[in-house]
Structure 1
Amino acid sequence: MPPPVDSVAAPPRGHRVRQTIAQLRERILGGEWPVGGRIPTEPQLVAALGVGRNTVREAVRALVHAGVLECRQGSGTYVVSTDELAPVVARRLTADRMAEVIEVRRAFEVEAARLAALRRTTEDLAALDGALAAREAAWRGGRVDEFVETDAALHTAVVAAAHNGMLAELYASVGTALRSTVAQSMGDALEPERYVDHSRLVEAIRAGDPGRAAIEAGAFLEPPPGA
């Protein structure tokens, strides 16, 4: 016979906080509170989530510490990221650690290319072709910022073609670092000697050749001399 409702112990405080954090994350990831937008006030969250003020406060504080939310004095609490790893990576991204960033990119992108050659679909190949064409057009246009974005989009398309959800999530967390390494290598202008052809990478994936795809992906991410 189950115990009376009023005799059932309330869940421990830590459990309630974790549940509340999960509920907040779900609403952020679901787009209910988009990046750049303000989340409801504390009293509104208390009413909506059915928990106490202290529980809401601790859950919000945890997500602020994780870099997902930001409290702005006199304005409210805003969503600044949907990815808890991205702010951590961004804080660690300094000029003297660029060699490490390139090594991490190499680890991700070489394996992504190898898997993409094994798993790519017709839709993936179309996405790769489109991303490559956009990258080439940006290079011809001569705008560094546009080229950096289209280059990142091509690499992201390769990772997507690998069809490994965890790899895609981890790669997304280094997106800022990825763009920074490309921007640093480009400098202030798109000079011909800095151009790197990515068509062979796409063709290796299209051919279903994992070994060649891995070689092509790693060729332009060699550590700097003396690193």
Structure 2
Amino acid sequence: MIRKTNRKSLVEQVAEQMEHLIEQREWKVGEKLPPEMELMEEFDVSRNTLREAIRALVHAGLLETKQGSGTIVRSTSVLGAALERHIKKSTMLETLEVRLALEKQAAQMAAEQRTEADLAMIKTYIDRSKNASVNQDLDQFIASDIQFHKTIVQASGNQLLVDLYEHMTDILYSFVHDFMVMKPSFPLEQEVHLGLFEAIQKQDKNSAASYVEHDMEVLKENIITMMEE
């Protein structure tokens, strides 16, 4: 039996428009929403409708209402908010294992799909990582390394994979940063992934996957050692 589709309520329409503004970064994470009266005029809705829409987005994890501070943007997407909640409940090793799965798949796909523009961008971040390693600039090294991995994921051509990885990296890399600060003897040059770049350049997806597995195993072993100390 075919059921008639229900038209979206006004609350749902306003919530979708607000979500779009957040996804497009017109309302940025950490920023406070415009005044209530301004939003009522912009969306041409009543105070109750606006508040219901805001409540829906608070429930979804996109917005957060703080006493005395108003409502602020908490996440750029419902997916990101849900992932953040789950990651916080997971152990670091569980998160690392998921990252391995995503990066392995991305490396294989990037080896098949990469363009010359992708290779140029990946090489840029390899060079920046090398320079940071030579200068022992930890912050710059980690920033370049993050972009190196993100560029490979983007080169996979799979937007869902890009979104999933994007929302995992901030929490994971903050941990990696803390780990490297606590382990000043950790050789940064070990993390310059030249072999992975060359495998993607040669379109050797099996070698690309092997490099990711090896690099992640080294990181995992170091993290386990640190946690045991």
TM-score, with length taken from structure 1: 0.83
- 1:134 pairs, out of 128, 134, 144, with 128
Measure how far apart 1:189 and its partner are: 4.9
- 2:211 pairs, out of 193, 212, 216, with 216
CA contact (8 A) 1:143 1:190 kept: no
CA contact (8 A) 1:144 1:190 kept: no
Corresponding residue of 2:20: 26
Indicate the SS of the match to 1:38.
coil
CA contact (8 A) 2:102 2:161 kept: yes
Measure how far apart 1:43 and its partner are: 2.5
- Aligned partners of 1:197, 1:45: CA distance in 2, in Å? 48
Measure how far apart 1:191 and its partner are: 2.4
Superposed, which structure 2 residues align to 1:1-227 within 5 Å? 15-93=9-87, 97-193=91-187, 195-222=190-217, 223-224=220-221
State the number of aligned residues.
Answer: 215
- Aligned partners of 1:20, 1:77: CA distance in 2, in Å? 16
Relative to its length, the structure with more helix (as a share) is 2
Indicate the SS of the match to 2:154.
helix
CA contact (8 A) 2:22 2:28 kept: yes
Query: What RMSD in Å do the two structures reach over aligned CA positions?
Result: 2.5
- Aligned partners of 2:177, 2:198: CA distance in 1, in Å? 25
CA contact (8 A) 1:128 1:202 kept: yes
CA contact (8 A) 2:62 2:78 kept: yes
- Give the partner amino acid of 1:182: V
Structure of larger gyration radius: 1
Instruction: Summarize the Cα distance change of 1:123–1:98 in structure 2 as closer, same or farther, 3 Å threshold.
Output: same
Instruction: Summarize the Cα distance change of 1:52–1:81 in structure 2 as closer, same or farther, 3 Å threshold.
Output: same
- Aligned partners of 1:58, 1:156: CA distance in 2, in Å? 36
Which stretch of structure 1 is more off in the superposition, 94-103 or 189-198? 189-198
| Amino-acid identity (%) | 36
> Mind listing any 5+ residue stretches in structure 2 that lack a counterpart?
1-5
